């Protein structure tokens, strides 16, 4: 069943950059599943996150353009000041509507949208952060029988986000970043 | 609201879209579905409605309710000087060229409640061009057009807008442009003296004039590719040669048929110029 994973979505806030970087650094350039990364950031800021990830990863890191198609071997970074939605034809739609959980991009928005399109073939991973954004989206992924993973709160730089998710989705898997990385490698199809 | 069956919900929305087209003439068939579904769920939640069936009853018996629905489903969230570097670039790279024309025509397409319009007007004013510029401000929604015309915004965001104004290269005291009153600010109506407010539906209406600059930022993201293409063709028909097209920071002409006729003026800020 896990061979069918079609999308991996990671979300994080404070401490989420470092955690997601550690996880993604271990993945090969031809990693077979597209990855979407939603990190909270300051608004009206330029796209230095993309440069940072592109420099440190062997995967190709790109900031999402509206209607860009999902492709393997890519890490798609949510741009500042937009929500990221997924369409049934496996393209992105951007959205500049109201903040959710005081955030745009909001992790809840992307997790929910991903689960609507990919259902049980979605893997959602929620990392360190000082916000409750992401927990209702992760719950939604879990309810759609997707895989819900939370960074171990003991390891997370700020545990608020992981704890909120564990609270709302008690059935989620709790792992440290090393285990998350190992798990993602088992999903990779050569 | 709990939606047990996403597939059923989506089928009901598709039927609703057809019905809205027949009853009210608004065609949402070309709108990006992820956003439409999300907006409708949000609207149901706001109005405490349990189902699409319940929503239908209100929509088709109450045109005010429909207008409200229209405003919520077509996103109207906007801000002044969103992406200050875009406005800075417009000021430095585009307005000096436009200033060589005796008379300038600008189309602010999808102007919503007017924050972008006033930002543009302030820029033109500071570059000494406003008095010989005519701006056509259009939107699908008449209610937001009326708000744009009034130029009254909540004072809540003024700190952020002021910072963005200076980051965009603002040259004056920002407070010169508005008066405050009980939690609201009203922008000087002289800024929109030469603005024509006009209902226009990008999904169905045609070209109505020729422009030197078209600004359409974060409007087409709510459309599917096919409808985006229609609008790009419409913009292409409406731009003079060597005219400028400004899109949102993450929107691109790359997938469009018209892209070969356009070059970047500023790639980061998605400002294009039409070839001669």
Q: What is the mean pLDDT of chain B?
A: 96
pLDDT at position A41 is 80
pLDDT in tens, chain B (276 residues): 445 588 899 999 999 999 999 999 999 999 999 999 999 999 999 999 999 999 999 999 999 999 999 999 999 999 999 999 999 999 999 999 999 999 999 999 999 999 999 999 999 999 999 999 999 999 999 999 999 999 999 999 999 999 999 999 999 999 999 999 989 999 999 999 999 999 999 999 999 999 999 999 999 999 999 999 999 999 999 999 999 999 999 999 999 999 999 999 999 999 999 999
ipTM of this predicted complex? 0.93
User: Tens digit of pLDDT for each residue in A127-138?
Assistant: 999 999 999 999
Whether A133 is catalytic is yes
- Is B39's CB within 8 Å of A97's CB? yes
- The shortest CB-CB distance from A66 to any of B6, B250, B268 is to B250
pLDDT surpasses 60 at A47? no
H or E stretch including B273? strand B271-274
For residues B35 and A182, what is the distance between their CA atoms, to the nearest angstrom?
34
User: Tens digit of pLDDT for each residue in A140-171?
Assistant: 999 999 999 999 999 999 999 999 999 999 99
User: What percentage of chain B carries pLDDT values higher than 90?
Assistant: 97
Identify the CA nearest to A35 among candidates A47, A45, A25. Answer: A25
pLDDT at position A25 is 97
pLDDT at position A45 is 58
Residues 71 to 110 of A: which have CB under 8 A from any B CB? Answer: 79, 81-82, 85-88, 91, 93-98, 109
Q: What is the dihedral of CA B207, B208, B210, B214, to 10 degrees?
A: -70
Of A20, A74, A80, A133, catalytic = A133
pTM of the model: 0.95
For residue B215, how many other CB atoms are within 10 A of its CB?
A: 26
DSSP state of A147: E
User: Tens digit of pLDDT for each residue in A59-98?
Assistant: 999 999 999 999 999 999 999 999 999 999 999 999 999 9
Structure-token pair, residue B234 = 């419409």
- Is A95's CB within 8 Å of B167's CB? no
For residues B108 and B93, what is the distance between their CA atoms, to the nearest angstrom?
18
- Is B38's CB within 8 Å of A46's CB? no
Q: Got the DSSP string for B174-228?
A: GGGGEEEETTEEEE-GGGGTTEEEEE--TTT----S-EEEEEE-SSGGGB-HHHH
pLDDT at position B6 is 86
Residue of A nearest to B73 (CA): A97
pLDDT surpasses 60 at A44? no
pLDDT surpasses 70 at A42? no
The whole-angstrom distance between A155's CA and the closest CA on chain B is 34
Of A40, A106, A128, A135, catalytic = A40
pLDDT band at A48 (very low <50, low <70, confident <90, very high): confident
pLDDT at position A142 is 98
pLDDT surpasses 80 at A43? no
How confident is the model over A100-105, as a mean pLDDT? 96
Q: What residues of A are in contact with residue B119 (Cβ under 8 Å)?
A: none
Burial pattern B176-200, b for ≥16 Cβ within 10 A else e, equals ebbeeeeeebebbeebbebbebeeb
């Amino acid at each position: 069943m896990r061979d069918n994973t079609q999308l991996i979505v990671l979300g994080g806030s404070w401490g989420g950059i470092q955690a997601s970087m550690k996880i993604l650094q271990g993945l090969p350039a031809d990693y077979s599943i597209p990855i979407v990364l939603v990190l909270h950031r300051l608004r009206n800021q330029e796209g230095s996150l993309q440069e940072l990830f592109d420099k440190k990863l062997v995967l190709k890191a790109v900031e999402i353009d509206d209607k860009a198609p999902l492709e393997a071997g890519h890490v798609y970074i949510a741009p500042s000041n937009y929500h990221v939605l997924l369409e049934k034809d496996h393209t992105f739609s951007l959205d500049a509507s109201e903040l959710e959980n005081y955030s745009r991009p909001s992790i809840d928005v992307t997790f929910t949208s991903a689960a609507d399109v990919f259902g049980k073939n979605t893997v959602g991973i929620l990392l360190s952060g000082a916000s409750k954004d992401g927990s209702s989206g992760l719950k939604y992924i879990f309810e759609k029988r997707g895989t819900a993973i939370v960074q171990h709160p003991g390891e997370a730089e700020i545990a608020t986000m992981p704890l909120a998710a564990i609270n709302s989705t008690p059935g989620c898997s709790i792992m440290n970043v090393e285990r998350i990385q190992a798990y993602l490698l088992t999903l990779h199809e050569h | 609201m709990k939606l047990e069956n996403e597939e059923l919900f989506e089928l009901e929305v598709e039927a609703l879209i057809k019905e809205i087209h027949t009853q009210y003439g608004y065609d949402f068939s070309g709108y990006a579905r992820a956003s439409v579904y999300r907006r409708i769920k949000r609207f149901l939640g706001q109005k405490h409605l349990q189902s699409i069936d319940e929503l239908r009853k209100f929509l088709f018996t109450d045109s005010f309710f429909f207008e409200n629905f229209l405003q919520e489903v077509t996103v109207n969230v906007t801000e002044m000087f969103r992406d200050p570097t875009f406005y800075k670039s417009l000021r430095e790279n585009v307005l000096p060229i436009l200033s060589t024309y005796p008379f300038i025509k600008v189309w602010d397409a999808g102007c919503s409640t007017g924050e972008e319009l006033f930002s543009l007007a302030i820029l033109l004013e500071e570059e000494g061009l406003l008095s010989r510029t005519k701006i056509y401000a259009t939107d699908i929604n008449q209610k937001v057009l009326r708000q744009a015309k009034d130029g009254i915004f909540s004072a809540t965001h003024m700190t952020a807008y002021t910072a963005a104004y200076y980051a965009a290269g603002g040259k004056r005291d920002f407070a010169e442009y508005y008066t405050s009153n009980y939690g609201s600010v009203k922008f000087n109506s002289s800024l929109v003296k030469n603005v024509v407010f006009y209902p226009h539906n990008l999904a169905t209406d045609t070209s109505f004039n020729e422009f030197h600059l078209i600004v359409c930022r974060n409007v087409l993201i709510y459309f599917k590719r096919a409808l985006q293409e229609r609008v790009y063709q419409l913009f292409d028909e409406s731009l003079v040669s060597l005219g400028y097209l400004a899109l949102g920071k993450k929107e691109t002409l790359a997938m469009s048929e018209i892209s070969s006729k356009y070059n970047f003026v500023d790639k980061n800020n998605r400002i294009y110029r039409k070839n001669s």
